[in-house]
Amino acid sequence: MTNSLPAKLMVGIFDHLDEDGREIGRQYEDRMKLAEVCDRLGFYGYHVAEHHCTPHGRGPSPNLFLASVAQRTQHLRLGPLVMLLNLYHPLRAFEEICMLDHLSGGRLELGMGRGSLPIEWSFFGIDEEVATSRYLEASEIVIQAMKEGAQALSYKGDHFELDKVPLMLRPHQRPQPPTWITTSRPEVARWAAENDTNLACGGPASAVRQITDAYRAHERRTAGDRKRAPFLGLVRMVVAGSTTKHAISLAAPAYQRWLRSFRFLYEINGIQTPQNLPPDFDAAVDCQLCVVGTAASVRQDLLDHVEEAGANYLLCQLAFGDLPLEASYYTATSVHSGVMA
């Protein structure tokens, strides 16, 4: 196995928009200010998770939030990571996708998925037994609708039936916006490679390497029709400080607050939390979920993780828990000067 860093490492932002303890409107405004800073610094994209009925996600409609972000930024690409297609009629999802792509001037990066927590689906009347097949049908319909030249949409499945529905909207990007999925499974990476879909992965770099290797082994050999190679993204929570002690003093309580938000639906419904969820801050650092330290040490750790993982895109979670906005600014600037410059 040969590890190598890409000639130019692209860096984006990932965000759960988890509750920070303050008024929700202020949190939205702070995130938009952070997006403006990252836009000026040259970050590639801003990817927002979708969660419902939980403090783990104050952005249950990522497209609505990102439509506002689009008006405050000029270059930063935007998208849900992921849009939970189980919870949408696919025709409505397609129309929202088109709108966001136009409102952003063609900056949409479209993440689609079924979600990972069945209790969230159940709030909307979606049973776990049908979630996968419903998601697959919805994604097929959305992709079919985005195809160049499609004037009407027909589909017959177990969950959705459309009969010559006229399509009045088209995406700004042709033939369609870049698509994304999240995964921790090499077999899913193979599907993504065969379908020219970008990946976002969390977890230890050695585990992510299995996924990126599987992707590259099955990647389409049609690079000539691409504007760029697909992104194989690595997600990390990142906090830089003036000293390691200072960074830890910010990151440790912020992680604990993020963790409480993550556990909320599991605990009130008596559901076992995922086995790979770090139970405390030290464990989060040990398993490489969190990268915390001085600007110099953060730079080296991030580059080491990216190289070991075989990634070519770094997704930094710059804001989580109750991190102050100024701390997120400092980390963004540190990542820019140390990793992107």
Distance CA(231)–CA(38), nearest Å, equals 19
The tokens for 217 are 């082994």
Assigned token pair, 243: 């000293």
With 0-12 CB in 10 A as exposed, 13-18 as middle and 19+ as buried, what is 156? exposed
State how far the alpha carbon of 128 is from the alpha carbons of 50, 114, 200, 263, 265, in Å.
Answer: 18, 10, 24, 20, 16
């369609």: which residue's tokens?
176
Instruction: Report whether 251 contacts 322 (CB < 8 A).
Output: no
Domain boundary assignment for the chain: 7-49+183-341, 82-179
pLDDT of residue 3: 55
Q: What local confidence, expressed as pLDDT, does residue 229 receive? A: 87
Per-residue confidence (pLDDT) for residue 5, from 0 to 100: 72
Cα distance between residue 335 and residue 338, in whole Å: 5
- Residues 88, 125 contacting (CB under 8 angstroms): no
Among candidates 319, 261, 284, which has minimal Cα distance to 117?
Answer: 261
The per-residue pLDDT for 1 is 45
What's the helix, strand, coil split of the chain in %, to 5? 45, 20, 35
pLDDT in tens, 112-158: 999 989 999 999 999 999 999 999 999 999 999 998 777 899 999 99
| Contact yes or no for 182/189 (Cβ under 8 A) | no
Low-confidence ranges of the chain (pLDDT < 50): 1, 223-224
* Residue 216, phi then psi, degrees to nearest 5: -65, -30
Two tokens at 253?
């309580």
Q: Into which CATH architecture does domain 7-49+183-341 fall?
A: Alpha-Beta Barrel (3.20)
> Percent of the chain, pLDDT > 90?
92
**Which value, in Å, is the radius of gyration of the alpha carbons in the chain?**
19
Q: Whole-prediction pTM value?
A: 0.96
Pairing of strands 232-241, 179-182: unpaired
Which pLDDT belongs to residue 221? Answer: 60
Q: So what's the pLDDT on residue 4?
A: 67
